[in-house]
Amino acid sequence: MAEDAKHPGLLALTQGDPSGIGPEIALKCWLRRRELSRPFFLLADPQHIARVAASLGLDVPIVATEPSRASAEFPDALPVVPLQNRVFGVPGASDPRDAPATLESIERAVGFVRDGSAAAVVTNPIAKEPLYRAGFKHPGHTEWLGELAERGWNTGPLLPVMLLWSRTLSVVPVTIHVSLTRALSLLTTDLIVATSRVVAKDLRDKFGVARPRLAVAGLNPHAGEAGTMGREDIEIVAPAVERLRAENIDARGPLPPDTMFHAAARGKYDAAICMYHDQALIPIKTLAFDSGVNCTLGLPFIRTSPDHGTAFDIAGKGVADPTSLMAALELASRLGAGRPV
């Protein structure tokens, strides 16, 4: 969103699952606010956030406000835009009754970007199982954000793509939150091509990469070893690379996945296109666990998120590390302002 928007650079941060570490790391990010390029407001239950702050001994004043006043409030207090749904859970014990508040937080954040009240959406981690019990129909954040974008911007069908970004490595899983068996059945040449097109376009248009270089991973060990370990790389992945190159997209592969992620290899591409979730997330979480950012490509707005989960096991203990959320806020600030990363 341009710098002359209604509230330039202001970020809408969702609560995530209120029983996870989202509230804690949001509070800790406000305490480190001088390190951030842009202010943010949190969509949450102000009383719940105040309780979490008090229980952790964090000296964070909470102010219930609206986006129009959030920038002015931010230097002295954490601006919290109240939800219509109350929060019931306590840290460490997810409560299914909190599903409406969790979903409201996300939907309203997207609405604030759509009406110009915020430049980007930053989402705290959600737990999918309580949402499924409440009737949530999507595999995760990424897919639902695509539906919200189609509904709010009247874009027609979109392909939201999960980019895990860091200054060390950036990866994209072609298939995302499905079982490995399901991923194999979903993987097609068309899906690899469509995903890679989105990645190339947004790396160029949003990240400022003049000519994005894509490294396409093989599906099988050694990229199939010339068909001796499966023909998927010959029949599915290689044709996708050929089509991308015919469209003047700098793609190469299929590459053996076990040799793609060492330092010398990483210097030869801007993003690795991986065939399934763990093929992408294991290397980036190994190399950039605290600094990785989940960024959804293919949307008409900027959305980032920390590259970790709700961490119920440490919620409420005061030990949650806000580094990944800080990185997500900073990346959203730069992308939302149209600045190079």
Residues 242, 283 within the same domain? yes
293 within 8 A of 333, measured Cβ to Cβ:
no
Residues 152, 191 within the same domain? no
Residues 156, 172 within the same domain? no
Q: Taking the CB of residue 211, how many other CB atoms lie within 10 A of it?
A: 11
Quote the number of domains for the chain: 2
Residue 314 lies in a domain: no
Angle between the 141-153 and 99-114 helix axes, to the nearest 10 degrees? Answer: 40
pLDDT above 90 for 162: yes
Residues 153, 34 within the same domain? yes
SS3 172: strand
Residue 303 lies in a domain: no
pLDDT above 60 for 2: no
Residue 16 lies in a domain: yes
Residues 109, 247 within the same domain? no
Residues 186, 156 within the same domain? no
Using a 10 angstrom Cβ sphere, with 0-12 exposed, 13-18 middle and 19 or more buried, the burial of residue 183 is buried
Residues 76, 143 within the same domain? yes
Q: Give the integer Cα–Cα distance in Å for 149 and 153.
A: 6
Per residue in 57-68, pLDDT (tens digit) is: 999 999 999 999
Query: Structure pTM?
Result: 0.91
Residues 186, 151 within the same domain? no
Residue 215 lies in a domain: yes
Q: What is the pLDDT of residue 307?
A: 87
Residues 258, 151 within the same domain? no
Q: Give the integer Cα–Cα distance in Å for 174 and 197.
A: 12
Residues 125, 209 within the same domain? no
Residue 292 lies in a domain: no
Residues 37, 96 within the same domain? yes
pLDDT above 50 for 86: yes
Residue 108 lies in a domain: yes
> In CATH, what number is assigned to the domain containing residue 212?
3.40.718.10
Per residue in 17-55, pLDDT (tens digit) is: 999 999 999 999 999 999 999 999 999 999 999 999 999
Last residue of some domain: 271, 287, 303? 287
Per residue in 208-245, pLDDT (tens digit) is: 999 999 999 999 999 888 888 889 999 999 999 999 99
Q: DSSP letters of 82-146?
A: E-SS----BTTB--GGGHHHHHHHHHHHHHHHHTTS-SEEE-----HHHHHHTT--SSSHHHHHH
Domain extent at residue 270: 168-287
Closest CA to 13 of 321, 302, 334: 302
Residue 316 lies in a domain: no
Residue 315 lies in a domain: no
Residues 45, 91 within the same domain? yes
